[in-house]
Amino acid sequence: MQRKTLFELVILGALGALGIVVMKNSQSINDTLSGVFAGSYHWPPESAPYQSLVESSASANGVPVALMAAEITQESGWNPSAYNSSSGASGIAQFEPPTASGLGVDPMDPNSAIPGMARYLAQLNGMLSARGYPQWSYTLAAYDWGIGNVEDALANQVPPSSWNNETRNYVRIITAASGVDTATAQLFA
């Protein structure tokens, strides 16, 4: 067993206070740390108008900044006018109408949608953490596939590797881009 340095112990304590769970091996600690700090994420040029709002919203809600930024890249490519005609999802965070309404979010306004996305990710992570699944990979799956589908799959002990391809790819792409929770994301392969 590898001993932790004092720095790692302090960081682990701080992450725990934020509700960020770190696996016990050193690689997962590095994965988590790299994703918590926005410097590990390569911001695309189109994200420039929204970076500070993403950073403040994610930080205020205990969401890894890099994870949220990578998720926006995946959801809309940073296009605040994005629209998915098959699901009705719209805006930079691709909220479906019932979700946007329930959160009190205007999906077409990035100043509303980005903080709303951070609150929703924190809410989903809290719900899944209460059920024993605090890893951000499960939270991403719930954002993409719906919390009900994820809870049903977990309750029926369906492994993430058997979930739908879209959600599995979604989780893997975002975790790889952000560096957050890459160890758990392997379960989605």
DSSP symbol at 4: P
Distance (Å, whole) CA 59 – CA 181: 17
For the chain, first and last CA: distance in Å?
A: 27
Task: Give alpha helix (H) positions in 86-187.
Answer: 97-103, 110-130, 136-145, 147-155, 165-178, 182-185
* Catalytic (active site) residue 55: no
Which of 75, 96, 151, 166 is the catalytic position? 75
Distance (Å, whole) CA 37 – CA 180: 10
Comparing CA positions, the residue from 93, 69, 74 lying closest to residue 83 is 93
Residue type, 165: N
* Residues annotated as catalytic (active site), given as ranges: 75
